[in-house]
Structure 1
């Protein structure tokens, strides 16, 4: 079926389409053609005409979005029902943006198209995304929440179908981030999110109380057989078997039979090695294996599964056992558990640059903290210029993200509930990000899902 429109601007899930004649088949390919609208004398357009046109395009766009193939752009939209959190209204909304009106009497923010926020599956990413939803809804904007399907970055920006993304790990997606923000310039770098992400090695803090003179928070304790004697010997800890098979296998240098065993822990060596419990070889891939090699640590790696490792960790902590573990910050587990990070020599960028080129290069320093970033699309910049300042100023302190994560553990809350609780109690923090409300919208505009037909 062909659709024909003449001399209009449309804002759809595909971005803005402009043309004197827009022809669209069922795939609705995106086109942008420079178009100068005819001069319109604003007073001649009645409010009833505005309402009629707006309603028509609302209905048309709703039909288009129902058929929009979100998954083609690495987005799970819940069958176009989206993953929005329930409303989280403020007891007293004094932001002012939700009351701002266009000259035709319609509300400025509500009359724009929805802001599309894509988030990743882990808790801290969800907390930020839902906080973004709550702030925008308090300002009167409509929001659509979608989940990332594959842990990849780019296609949604090249096709201009997303607006905002939070907590981008440069350690994982740095190459794609640089490509889309600096080389191809299809995304806008909105700056740091306010806290860093870390992969680190930890022990329970109670071990420091039990052995105050052993300096267990510094990696050199691993060379002292007396100090390592309290930890499980290699091969004696828990194992995860899935359908009779190890979690990972046949990955030389990374994982054989769900473990990594360095030469110093194999015959003919008689050194006593201890187990370091890890999630999955896809997390911080190769880093801790090469640190074990480079520092000649009497340590083997045991992989317990991305979704099951923390269950093993929590049981060990409840029994006050000595356990040496890899942990990820920020997470609910790290925020709730009383852990102490074991310090290693500080990150050497030159060393890690060589490691990125050759994953067999030994490492003698710990991984660098990942600078977590925010991204906006060209479409977001074009359709919501008033919001760029907000999300550039959006900086969530480390103690506040940890507070939300800890509340999830202590209160049994979901990410939606914890984010809502923080949103209601912390306007003194996020309220400073909100731009001042203009006295008026200014020149006459006809807004159709965020687009303007001219002035």
Structure 2
């Protein structure tokens, strides 16, 4: 089992199921992507990867998809562990008790700034694809039956006709004096503060753990109800519902709420929640290919809603969640195939540009050149070369010369020369391309030739020859020449203008005019 098999006491308080892994092989053609037998030969950790699922439907489905692809395609050992979820997930990723979480809500991620942005002790792995949205919902037939009340807009709640559509509540407004309404969650406090902020004549009835069954029963009995829900969820995926529209969020509304969830009145709608994926630092380091799959994984709202509707047709046991995820995998290879990273080539003879040949454990493989090294050889039989002096190497095939230096690209070894013309050699990353390191239209050897062959280098610039001067300039030069000729011709002969030449003759040994 994994080193994470026994979680810390503090991080396991909301554990629901220690092993919620799908027990069957789902995808049968395991060598389609050429990963068969590869994972066991990589110089990676041999421990089991712990995927954390939140105890709600969409999270469990998405987590099973990732778990199955890791196991059936890439060949890793995986444990899918079910938690209640929420803010505690961040602490488990930070400590390494969990490796991966597939669906995290910004609304719950109070740790985001501290762990992900500041400490970087939790790794952000991109958006899931589908987005989340909390809100108040009513059956669409109620809206259609009352076209003059505009029940889909919050101001209708000030209209006595609209209030008469819904059943009256028998609990105190805003749960005043009712300790059963105390709930520290994001959504409950948001609902209460929204009612206060917009001064709505609404009370909240908390239904507890049987919430979904009670709401679905009311919908099935065609009752006019207004209730809190979210997307993605079975409730919103399988029923024809209309979401109540509140004022659009301004720049400060959500900040005020987050600063004081219990007291600050708010007047804006729930924000769209861009659900994201995250991992532990150790997971990104120990399993780079599994992390790449995590980053590439994207599921649309339409796809998750379809899976939720399929799930609603089952008994919703742990196996049912895995079965629905497995069926989606077998039906949608065209979607997830692009998530699978190409397997590393083992026991290679040579490596392409930007990579070097290295022994890793029991295999010989190509690795991208790291900072301080480079490779320009397209059939490189060895490791990456060290960066030359007077240059900086950024990894791969990129080499950055210092200012006013030029790299000879005619060989696979970066040789640095000083530029004879100051200011024309760029100091920017480039990859074996002679013209990319020269400015002002120059190129060639040491940036001394104009790329446009009709021009010539002069003072670090490319200029045209005099015979390409415009006609007006040529006319002026011709006129000036003509005036000079006329002037010389008109000098009087009597002026006695002569040209004296001084000559020394050897025989006479003296000067003579």
**If the length of structure 2 is used for normalisation, what is the TM-score?**
0.62
How far did 1:394 drift?
Answer: 1.0
2:203 matched to 1:300? Answer: yes
User: 2: distance between equivalents of 1:339 and 1:121?
Assistant: 24
User: 2: distance between equivalents of 1:400 and 1:375?
Assistant: 21
Residue equivalent to 1:355: 257
Residue equivalent to 2:502: none
User: How many aligned residue pairs are there?
Assistant: 349
1:152-211 deviation digits (Å, cap 9, x = unpaired):
1333233333321111111112x3122111211112100111122221001001112322
Residue equivalent to 1:344: 246
- 8 A contact 2:101–2:278 mirrored in 1: yes
**Residue 312 of structure 2: which of 394, 409, 422 is its match?**
409
Residue equivalent to 1:92: 29
How far did 1:112 drift?
Answer: 3.7
1:133-165 deviation digits (Å, cap 9, x = unpaired):
111112211101222366413332333333211
1:49-86 deviation digits (Å, cap 9, x = unpaired):
xxxxxxxxxxxxxxxx5xx4554543788897x22112
User: 2: distance between equivalents of 1:109 and 1:321?
Assistant: 60
Residue equivalent to 1:246: none
Q: Secondary structure at the match of 2:187?
A: coil
2:302 matched to 1:399? Answer: yes
CA spacing shift, 1:69–1:385, aligned 2, 3 Å:
closer
Show the 5 A alignment for 1:424-443.
424-440=330-346, 443=358
2:127 matched to 1:189? Answer: no
- 8 A contact 2:94–2:281 mirrored in 1: no
Q: Which runs of 5+ in 1 are unaligned?
A: 1-10, 15-64, 237-248, 261-278, 448-454
Show the 5 A alignment for 1:5-404.
13=3, 68-74=6-12, 82-101=19-38, 107-108=41-42, 112-138=46-72, 139-148=74-83, 151=86, 152-173=88-109, 175-235=110-170, 256-257=177-178, 282=185, 284-305=187-208, 307-359=209-261, 360-404=263-307
- 8 A contact 1:74–1:149 mirrored in 2: no
CA spacing shift, 1:208–1:300, aligned 2, 3 Å:
same
CA spacing shift, 1:212–1:291, aligned 2, 3 Å:
same
- 8 A contact 1:97–1:109 mirrored in 2: no
User: 1: distance between equivalents of 2:68 and 2:156?
Assistant: 47
Superposition RMSD on alpha carbons, in Å?
A: 3.1
User: 1: distance between equivalents of 2:154 and 2:280?
Assistant: 43
- 8 A contact 2:196–2:266 mirrored in 1: yes
CA spacing shift, 1:86–1:109, aligned 2, 3 Å:
farther
Q: Secondary structure at the match of 2:227?
A: strand
How far did 1:369 drift?
Answer: 1.8
CA spacing shift, 1:427–1:231, aligned 2, 3 Å:
same
Q: Secondary structure at the match of 2:271?
A: coil
CA spacing shift, 1:210–1:319, aligned 2, 3 Å:
same
Q: Secondary structure at the match of 2:47?
A: coil
Q: Secondary structure at the match of 2:51?
A: strand
Residue equivalent to 1:419: 325
User: 1: distance between equivalents of 2:179 and 2:235?
Assistant: 22
| Structure whose alpha-carbon radius of gyration is higher | 2
How far did 1:373 drift?
Answer: 1.0
User: 2: distance between equivalents of 1:153 and 1:111?
Assistant: 23
User: 2: distance between equivalents of 1:118 and 1:142?
Assistant: 14
User: 2: distance between equivalents of 1:213 and 1:311?
Assistant: 31
Q: Secondary structure at the match of 2:203?
A: strand
Q: Which runs of 5+ in 2 are unaligned?
A: 349-357, 363-382, 384-513
Q: Secondary structure at the match of 2:108?
A: helix
